[in-house]
Amino acid sequence: MTTRKIGSDTTVLADCLEVPGIGFLPVNAFVLTADEPVVVDTGLSLPDRDFLNTLGSVMDPADVRWIWLTHPDRDHTGGLFDLLVAAPKARVVTTFLGAGIMSTERPLPLDRVCLVNPGQTLDVGGGRTLRAFRPPLFDNPATVGFYDDRTRTCFSSDCFGGAMPSAEAAVDGTAAELAPQDLRAAQLLWATVDSPWVHTVDTDKYLATVQPLRAMDAETVLCTHLPPAVGLAPRMLDTLTEAPGSDPFVGPDQQALEQMLATFEPAPGGAVPPQAM
């Protein structure tokens, strides 16, 4: 994982995963340096990641007051329980459903949970409030992003995601560095991979969910699965409106998997190399 500042008080904790046939998918968490510091998601749940150590290079984990869990998928929760130990005053911001899903793996202490639904706000000190919303695209019913009007930043969870052509672009790049047509293609592919239901919903009702984000007039979009995007929100929102009419994603079948595996040498012990999966 690497870290970098976006603006004066937001830090990206950047990581990525290679997805064969798709590219390098960013996996970001964020730190919002408010009066009551906020950590947004906690990285991948892989044994070789040390989220707490990376966070410690940005701030003392003991100072964290809020852990905004945009949803409880395993690429968002890797460092959660370690952080709860290291940050004894922190509370997990989630929904009733999100807390329930997390508790199927390991119970969340309910006295350290703060339930915030879309449309509600969270006070993080200094007169600063974060406005919760449901993104137009999501892969988990507990998904809740938020808008910080102090910095005009939209924290969108998985919505707006897109795989990058290289690990460097995924971890160190920005969305603006991609050609517009490449960013559009990456976003539409991810939309069909991550939110396949978009092809089956009432299009008018779906498009209505995009309008609140236009009204936000965000300067910066920070997505779990896209490099930071500054000044691109209108164009990226236009791309979201195309998702229902885009081609559905069809993943590799068993024959394709066997062909992929045949191109890799077995790792020690017969394990499949990570890049083959």
Domains of the chain: 2-249 (3.60.15.10)
Torsion of CA 96, 33, 73, 20, to 10 degrees: 160
pLDDT at 270: 43
Regions of the chain short of the pLDDT cut 70:
264-277
Which pLDDT tens digit goes with each residue over 57-101?
A: 999 999 999 999 999 999 999 999 999 999 999 999 999 999 999
Maximum C-alpha span of the chain: 58
pLDDT at 271: 45
40 has which bridge partners? 30, 68
**Residue 3 backbone dihedrals phi, psi, to 5 degrees:** -130, 150
pLDDT at 266: 53
Q: Rounded to two decimals, what is the model's pTM? A: 0.92
Looking at residue 252, the DSSP 8-state letter turns out to be -
DSSP one-letter string for 57-97: TTS-GGG--EEE-S---TTT-TTHHHHHHH-TT-EEEE-HH
pLDDT at 262: 86
